[in-house]
Structure 1
Amino acid sequence: MLEIVYQDDHFVAINKPNGLLVHRSPIASNTDTYAVQLLRDQIDQYVHPVHRLDRKTSGVLLFALDKDVLRNVQEQFANHQTKKTYWAILRGYSAQEGTIYYALTNEKGKSQEAITNYKTLETTEIDVPFGKHATSRYSLIEATPVTGRMHQLRKHFAHILHPIIGDRPHGCNKQNKLFLEKWQMGTMLLHAAKLELVHPISKKKLILEAKLSTEFSRMMKALEFEYQLPRPKDLPYKELP
């Protein structure tokens, strides 16, 4: 059963678990389970994914229940009128804040502008030897991508030499091996925490939030992070005037 974080006559949003594909893809033919199919069966209604999340990324995933609403919100995405907030754990100490400007090549070979803003929420150093170092260092960050390119955050943080823990193939294989052997952790630590948009019918701002996965929370504790990430409100969504 998928966790629904928002639902009305026009939308439904879920907290997508790590490892679940949004829809059928030729690059992932090893599964016949998809969020579109599961949600359709769960609410007994056809759904249209408004945007994408990587298979390995957890968090807020929005679906439209009719094509007019779908077109409206996709225009908001295209015109940068939505805001997406992600949390991730990176290798090493990232800068206190920054903007990554690094063009990415899409599946058709076309270079596209890609921009990511981020800030470091906390850094940690734990007594776990890694390579020639006596300790291991990690950063908990909040990222707000301006553009929405495929694997953008994964590629951008790898580009600045602070790859997301658990990412393959863009991450650090040696770190991924360490996490698998020491903590039995093979999940990518990237979570789509919040999505903000304007409801096309009510014209009010929606803030959709998804709680962290158990695995992400477990690794925050294992890595000795003390920062308290905001939790979704008691209501399944927040609507602003």
Structure 2
Amino acid sequence: MSCEPEIIFEDEHLLTAYKPEGWLVHRSEIDRHETRILLQYLRDLSGSHLYPVHRLDKPTSGIIIFGKSSEVASRLQQQLESEYSLKNYLAVCRGYCPEQETIDYPLPPVADFKHQRKRAKSELPRQEAITLFRRLATVELPYAVDRYPTSRYSLVEIQLKTGRRHQIRRHFKHIQHPLIGCPKYGKSSHNRFFSQQFDCRRLLLHAVGLEIKHPVSGKLLALRAKPRGEYKKLLDILGWTNTLNHWNSSV
């Protein structure tokens, strides 16, 4: 149940769009054979030259913003790196996570290239990484995925205070509530269960909201992008759609 990218908001200075899972934001040597490139797709769709401001990982879906000039992109990037912007995500994790918590756990850089992997992890400098989250809903399913007769999962609202690579996935692994559908930091038994039981094979991480001041007018932009495709279908199956609708109306 794949989705196409869609423009959410556009003016003469910037463009925001929905990024489906499985799309790269821009071309990368790490995944050189991928042909679904969001930047090129939106340039063709809008007829405008676009400058990347931030990135969503390939398996993550949701809202993303581009500048239409290097100056606007730079202003937006500075905002996103400050405490004055809000970046909200929705995720599904294993177990009943705490109702509310701040994860303040420094992370070393992710080693994508061979020359970076030659250094021991202990030698890599750790960077400040802060993630806030709040549990929105839980479910207990009558399936024995691990050693227990039932399996528990949580729907979580997440707010990033810093933007380290794979920060959310790494932080939730650190607190022993790994995200569903993550092959690198998740748990394979639960990933297989969601694939086989619900036909859901994607990472359950979605950038649902972004609040930022317009870099030219100064007007507050409160942008939203609800989950689509497999993610939305899963929310319906688990009975979380009403919870999400109520949450959407309150933020």
**Taking structure 1 as the reference length, what is the TM-score of the superposition?**
0.92
1:22-66, Cα deviation, whole Å (9 max, x unpaired): 011121122132111111111111101111101111000100001
Equivalence for 1:79? 82
Structure 2 unaligned blocks of 5 or more:
117-123
For 1:226 and 1:211, the matched residues in 2 are separated by 11
For 1:121 and 1:100, the matched residues in 2 are separated by 17
Equivalence for 2:127? 112
For 1:43 and 1:17, the matched residues in 2 are separated by 17
Structure-2 change in CA distance of 1:231 and 1:200 (3 Å): farther
Structure-2 change in CA distance of 1:232 and 1:24 (3 Å): farther
For 2:80 and 2:209, the matched residues in 1 are separated by 14
* Residue 188 of structure 1 pairs with residue 178 of structure 2: no
Q: Greater CA deviation, 150-159 or 123-132?
A: 123-132
Match of 1:23 among 12, 22, 26: 26
For 2:49 and 2:240, the matched residues in 1 are separated by 41
Equivalence for 1:138? 153
Q: Among the aligned pairs, what percent are the same residue?
A: 38
Structure 1 unaligned blocks of 5 or more:
234-241
Equivalence for 2:36? 33
Does the 8 Å CA contact 1:15/1:211 hold for their aligned counterparts?
Answer: no
Does the 8 Å CA contact 2:137/2:243 hold for their aligned counterparts?
Answer: no
Q: Greater CA deviation, 124-133 or 88-97?
A: 124-133
Match of 2:181 among 156, 159, 166: 166
Equivalence for 1:62? 65
Structure-2 change in CA distance of 1:80 and 1:58 (3 Å): same
Structure-2 change in CA distance of 1:196 and 1:36 (3 Å): same
- TM-superposed deviation, 1:110: 3.1
* 2:189 aligned counterpart, secondary structure: helix
**Taking structure 2 as the reference length, what is the TM-score of the superposition?**
0.88
Q: Which has the higher strand share?
A: 1
Does the 8 Å CA contact 1:116/1:145 hold for their aligned counterparts?
Answer: yes
RMSD: 1.7
- TM-superposed deviation, 1:132: 2.1
For 1:197 and 1:226, the matched residues in 2 are separated by 27
Equivalence for 1:237? none
* 1:104 aligned counterpart, secondary structure: coil
For 2:242 and 2:183, the matched residues in 1 are separated by 26
* Residue 123 of structure 1 pairs with residue 126 of structure 2: no
